[in-house]
Structure 1
Amino acid sequence: MKLAKRLITFSLAAALSLSLAACGGGSGGSTPAPATTQPAGSSSATEPIKLTMATFLYVEAPHRAVIDRLVEEYNKIDPNVQIEISGAGYADYWNNLTTEILANNETDIMQIYPENLASYQTLREGGAFLDLTDRFNAAGLEGKLTGQETGVYDDKTLGVSNYSWGTTAMFYRKSMLEEKGIDPESIKTQDNFLEACRKFSEGDSVAMGVVYGTHAFSVSEWNRLIARPVSNGLYFADGETAPYTADHLNCNSEANVWAAQWWNDFIATEKCGKLVLDKKDSREMFWNGEVPFCMDGPWFIGMCQEHDAAMMDDIGIIPQFDVVYNGETYKPNPTNFPVLSLISSKCEHPDEAWDFLLWMTSAEAQKIIADCGQIPASIEYASSDEYKAAYPLSALFYDFMENNYTTLIADPAIPEYSELSQVMIDAAAEMFTDTPVDVKPILDEAHDKMAAILGS
């Protein structure tokens, strides 16, 4: 795929990543941080060194509070390094990052999602990001960070999973289910879930908000709940693995067509979902007691607590349900969402930038991150009894991964991903409306468009 051709649609597909979204305040109290240690390569120069960092998370108040705390604590360790944080709204952030990399004036440090790594790395000849392989290996971080394998592209470690990660589950309002006589533990399959949702689908009432239109959630919610568990790949077969060629495309497979038709029926025929333009709308419906269900990740715990701490006693979490298709039961395989931190290949102070990224993997920093309501990237800390005691609801997601979910499947980290994802978003806008439609022709057309993108 020629670079020029990719750039035509790259900005339009800027919001393709599946947003981790905002997290709220702490989900169970904080724990004392250990004493800080001086980074191995901390600055000793007399003139202050300025580092710039861009993150799409910074526009959300809870994330901003945590990131500010990280910078504040790091300044105590190395006061000679000044870190300036910037961020734009979710869509604008990706557009800005594209423009800045092409103009060679991006920030020193950037945070992105794994599925965007290849697209941005290949925007500039020679690579937009610094190769961190030697630094990473020397730090002994191998096997210590969740999702770190997603930070590798072209056999180079470009990103560090040093912030947090999340997967998804189903949140429910206890009082609403109890009123309808529904035991949440009885929701094991998509049919069980549909049966429960039907009890709330009367008149204008629905069971959950469903994001539709041009937002990436219009694909991701259906994909994680129904499609990928049965198809093992929304874009490519065999768990989104290579070969990334037209003959390996999977979007219009029999399983994906069935899953899309089920989701259309859930919305348009069963009237179980209300179409909303943004995820915040479905969250507010949940908070306001308009719907009993909200599919979300561990960050939603903190958001709920920040919205109304008194509401927390009425919130429960169950794992995503199994999907029964053609008489066979498939376990959920929702994507793991780590946030990657990268250093620009144009950074004038790479050692100081690396020291900050390395410090973010420390126990001290990870405990600060836990206050955001998310699961810290450190495997040791996130699986510790200390963490589970301090953040019991968040710890449920770890339990779901071990006991309810099969191998998590990530979107394909290839340069063409942004374009492929935009095709799927366009298809979802046609398929998932409040009108019954035949989804197969739409997915067949999506397949042809994807094949053209891949050069076939």
Structure 2
Amino acid sequence: MKKKLLAAVLAAAMVASTGCVVMAADGDTDYDVENREYKDVTITLHTRWDAADITGTLYQNIVDGFMKKYPGIKVESINIPTESEWLNSESVLMADKSSMPNIIVEYGGSRVAGYVQEDLIVDMDPYYEQYPEWKERFNSIGDGMTDYTAYGVEGTYGVPWSAYEVMLFYNEDILNENGIDPASLKSWDDLMDACAKLKENGVQPFEMGEKDDYRFGHLHSVLNYKTYGCEIAEKLGSREISYDGEEEKKIYDMIKDAVDKGYLGTNLLGNDDGQERSIFNTGGCAFITMGTWFCAEDHDALELFDSQKVHAIRFPYVDEKYEFHDMGGGNEAYYIVDTGDADEVAASVLFMKYMTSEDVVNTFYEGYPAPMSVNVTTEAGDYLTAEANEIIAGTKEVRGDIENYDSATHMINTVRQALQGIAMGHSSEEVGKTITDLIAEYE
């Protein structure tokens, strides 16, 4: 309870700093946002944008370009890069009509479904009907983040943006020097055998940065999909399968076994994901498992990438039936919040229309060539992006973070924090009990 209160206080402070004021609705239902007059309209974005990241400047350029084109609209951002803090902030802001941002970045799933069911998110269908060419800007990768019919709601909610798939990246030189053929790494057992060989030869297989708890979170999700198929997400979310049941303990034990043998890292809770990438990028370990955003990061002047020694392969399966079931799909979508102010809603739609326009998307992709849910028409990208896109093309079914399919919005933090216990020596029984005890506490 104290943690919840602290999160609320911090979030309230952030809201106060934005100066955003929510006004009453005027009943306007004109969906032609391009030909509307905007005067002194302020919209607020709640995002995970990180000024220190390669994408930080790209996102800011979008905001600056929009405000230059539409001087009657001011765009303010609440940028919280740390995922757990961002989620806590969002839940607090969205709980009170007076503090709601105009646009939120989200992953889809049950959290957004809850907002949609509460009529807090704008249905985009009337705007896509107004601008049919805008609807054609999107490919099918992000459909899962905008369709909430499974939750009993018709319409299209959200504007898809990025896409991804979790893959296994390897250092070609290290594998060659240790007699490991990457083409042989089809199953999880194959990968564990390779890790054993590397360890015997004094080479570190992985250096996961579990200080950022999404690292085991992603590993947990992808191992579930590779073991039971993507439908496991809905089964866990509906409690048909329990987090302390035999199915999930099998997943925890796979991670624990790799941890206990030293395969996943030598300083799991001391390194964050940035340090993890740095170690891999400079030849300090053989593998890294990461979303395909890794392809688009700034690898300038890194010899491994300049010499094309880093490659991507599909994450290994546990059950061969699910070889082509993967963690991925739409990565982020932008959801327009119905604050009750027609000018703010219209300006927010206009911002998203601008952000997903061809020139803006192409410019963003040229600076950060990762998979997109918006169609790209530029030839930007490199060999690693091409490898990743070829793998994605063969994927049969995907899901995102497994916790996003749960009706309880706390689950992504609950599961990830419990998984950190594996790095502290916790058993699979203890991990499962931690999760189910917290579920009971919230319910």
Task: Sort the TM-score into its range (normalised by shorter chain).
Answer: 0.7 to 0.9
In the other structure, the counterpart of 2:281 is: 287
Q: Superposition pairs for residues 9-158 of structure 1, below 5 Å?
A: 41-42=33-34, 45=37, 47-75=39-67, 77-90=69-82, 91-103=84-96, 104-115=98-109, 117-118=111-112, 121=115, 126-140=118-132, 141=135, 144-153=139-148, 154-158=153-157
In the other structure, the counterpart of 2:228 is: 231
- Counterpart of 2:360 (choices 365, 377, 382) is 365
- For the residue of structure 2 that corresponds to 1:335, the secondary structure is strand
In the other structure, the counterpart of 2:20 is: none
Is residue 2:301 matched to residue 1:313?
no
Structure 1 unaligned blocks of 5 or more: 15-38
Distance 2:55 2:46 in 1: 13
Taking structure 1 as the reference length, the TM-score comes to 0.76
Taking structure 2 as the reference length, the TM-score comes to 0.78
In the other structure, the counterpart of 1:401 is: 392
Farther-moved stretch of structure 1 (94-103 vs 293-302): 94-103
Farther-moved stretch of structure 1 (178-187 vs 164-173): 178-187
Deviation for aligned residue 1:145 = 5.0
Q: Is the 8 A contact 2:238 2:406 kept in 1?
A: no
Q: Is the 8 A contact 1:53 1:86 kept in 2?
A: yes
* 1:137 to 1:9, Cα distance in 2 relative to 1, 3 A: farther
- For the residue of structure 1 that corresponds to 2:398, the secondary structure is coil
* 1:54 to 1:452, Cα distance in 2 relative to 1, 3 A: closer
Is residue 2:437 matched to residue 1:449?
yes
Is residue 2:370 matched to residue 1:374?
yes
In the other structure, the counterpart of 1:339 is: 332
- Number of residues of Structure 1 aligned to a counterpart in Structure 2: 406
Deviation for aligned residue 1:201 = 1.8
Distance 1:203 1:9 in 2: 50
Distance 1:171 1:245 in 2: 33
Distance 1:336 1:413 in 2: 13
Q: Is the 8 A contact 1:113 1:340 kept in 2?
A: yes
Farther-moved stretch of structure 1 (359-368 vs 303-312): 303-312
* 1:408 to 1:59, Cα distance in 2 relative to 1, 3 A: same
- For the residue of structure 2 that corresponds to 1:258, the secondary structure is helix
Structure 2 unaligned blocks of 5 or more: 11-30
Q: How large is the Cα RMSD of the aligned pairs?
A: 3.6
Distance 2:243 2:188 in 1: 21
Higher relative contact order (CA 8 A, sep 6+): 1
Q: Is the 8 A contact 1:416 1:453 kept in 2?
A: no
- Counterpart of 1:353 (choices 341, 348, 360) is 348
Deviation for aligned residue 1:205 = 4.7
Distance 1:264 1:321 in 2: 18
In the other structure, the counterpart of 1:174 is: 172
Distance 1:242 1:184 in 2: 33
Distance 2:251 2:298 in 1: 30
Deviation for aligned residue 1:239 = 3.6
Q: Is the 8 A contact 2:45 2:76 kept in 1?
A: yes
- For the residue of structure 2 that corresponds to 1:280, the secondary structure is helix
In the other structure, the counterpart of 2:18 is: none
Q: Superposition pairs for residues 171-320 of structure 1, below 5 Å?
A: 171-202=169-200, 205-212=203-210, 215-224=213-222, 226-232=223-229, 238-241=231-234, 244-246=237-239, 248-269=240-261, 271-274=263-266, 275-276=268-269, 277-306=271-300, 308=302, 311-320=305-314
Q: Percent identity?
A: 14
Deviation for aligned residue 1:341 = 0.8
Q: Is the 8 A contact 1:211 1:282 kept in 2?
A: yes
Deviation for aligned residue 1:307 = 7.0
Q: Is the 8 A contact 1:228 1:256 kept in 2?
A: no
* 1:73 to 1:240, Cα distance in 2 relative to 1, 3 A: same
Deviation for aligned residue 1:109 = 2.0
Q: Superposition pairs for residues 320-331 of structure 1, below 5 Å?
A: 320-325=314-319, 330-331=323-324
Which structure shows the higher helix fraction?
A: 2
Deviation for aligned residue 1:430 = 2.7
